[in-house]
A = this chain, B = another copy of it.
């Protein structure tokens, strides 16, 4: 690899002149000099070492991204949007890390990033507190956290970007109600996070509006399962539902993946969606359009949020006020597919023929 020295020699100028052209200070030199330098650069195929630049400037064009798991399609989706926005608009690449919701792994990642010279990171974490990376912020990192608000009462220099989870769940629930459902359930996993409780609140709010009382179903912990994680919890929940005396007829799932697991599980127990039970998801994964029956879901504005996170991470210099830096994004309009119908006791009117329903 040629260095700036080589170029200088080759162009018969000093390294500072080369550096100047590298940094666009071309006004400080004769056109002829510039031409020589550029020729040398081209000829040697010289690419300045970011490493050396970083050491000098303290800036590295790398964005850290912390996700619970890349295998989760939702995180893959978010990661993709973050990546392309950061790349296209700022020339930043992504340094990614999966944490499997483990605090030590998260901390270790922050350590590494910091040692690596990375100053901007986006975190998707479901861990309750963010103390373990508050320290990173204090050391000068800009961090933006997804799907959680600032800890109430605590000042924080961490940026927060999230969907309006309350509203998303409320929309999903209302959809069920508008189809006549009265026995409502919300399928979630064990462990409360801000986003989960917001969804649950939204679910209850919608139920109450209609004078109904919703039930929250906890499918169990996430970590016991390998990969399919959330989907497996959904599957477990389905079996739990099947065993219930008074079965709910309308279910809002924590997210699309869980909904898909739920539908698979329901099928295993002989229950049919949407004939016996209706299901609504939240997220808007394209995969949900592939399921059978197609999953009705409330899409989250992933692109917009990804953009907001990158912007926030980049424009670090903005007023680092306290908690007011939270940004909440409204969900997109519900996408209606085939996983919702009237509850069983209201279906006499038009017991849909084979094809109209599911398979």
Within 8 Å by CB of A115, from B50, B286, B294, lies B50
Please indicate the chain B residues that have their CB under 8 angstroms from the CB of A96 in the complex: 83, 93-96
Question: A27-79: which residues lie under 8 A (CB-CB) from chain B?
Answer: 47-52, 54-55, 60, 62, 69-73, 76-77, 79
A349 at the interface (CB under 8 A from B): no
A48, B117: Cα distance in complex, Å: 11
A57 to chain B, nearest CB (A): 11
A75 to chain B, nearest CB (A): 8
A228 at the interface (CB under 8 A from B): yes
A19 at the interface (CB under 8 A from B): no
**Does the CB pair B292–A117 fall under 8 Å?**
no
Interface centre among A49, A52, A292 (most CB of B within 10 A): A292
**Does the CB pair B116–A50 fall under 8 Å?**
yes
Question: A206-239: which residues lie under 8 A (CB-CB) from chain B?
Answer: 227-228, 231
A121 to chain B, nearest CB (A): 12
**Does the CB pair B116–A98 fall under 8 Å?**
no
A277 to chain B, nearest CB (A): 13
Say which one of A263-271, A307-315, A319-327 lies at the interface with B. Answer: A263-271
Given contacts A286-B231, A291-B292, A292-B291, contact A98 B71 (CB under 8 A): no
Within 8 Å by CB of A263, from B55, B79, B292, lies B292
Interface residues on A, range: 35 or more
Interface string of A116-143 (1 = CB under 8 A from B): 1100000000000000000000011000
Nearest B residue to A117, CB-CB: B51
Please indicate the chain B residues that have their CB under 8 angstroms from the CB of A52 in the complex: 55
A260 at the interface (CB under 8 A from B): yes
A294, B47: Cα distance in complex, Å: 51
**Does the CB pair A227–B286 fall under 8 Å?**
yes
**Does the CB pair B49–A115 fall under 8 Å?**
yes
A155 at the interface (CB under 8 A from B): no
Within 8 Å by CB of A70, from B60, B76, B228, B267, lies B76
A166 to chain B, nearest CB (A): 27
A10 to chain B, nearest CB (A): 18
A343 at the interface (CB under 8 A from B): no
A154, B332: Cα distance in complex, Å: 51
**Does the CB pair B51–A60 fall under 8 Å?**
yes
A240 at the interface (CB under 8 A from B): no
Within 8 Å by CB of A69, from B50, B69, B80, B139, lies B80
**Does the CB pair B50–A117 fall under 8 Å?**
yes
A261 at the interface (CB under 8 A from B): yes
Interface string of A288-306 (1 = CB under 8 A from B): 0111111000000000000
A84 at the interface (CB under 8 A from B): yes
A58 to chain B, nearest CB (A): 9
**Does the CB pair B227–A267 fall under 8 Å?**
no
Within 8 Å by CB of A71, from B80, B115, B116, B264, lies B80
A328 at the interface (CB under 8 A from B): no
**Does the CB pair B93–A93 fall under 8 Å?**
no
Given contacts A71-B76, A117-B51, A289-B264, contact A95 B95 (CB under 8 A): yes
Sorted from nearest, which 3 A-B pairs have the closest CB atoms?
A292-B292, A359-B359, A228-B286
Q: What are 6 of the A-B contact pairs (CB < 8 Å)?
A: A1-B139, A51-B115, A73-B76, A76-B76, A93-B97, A231-B287
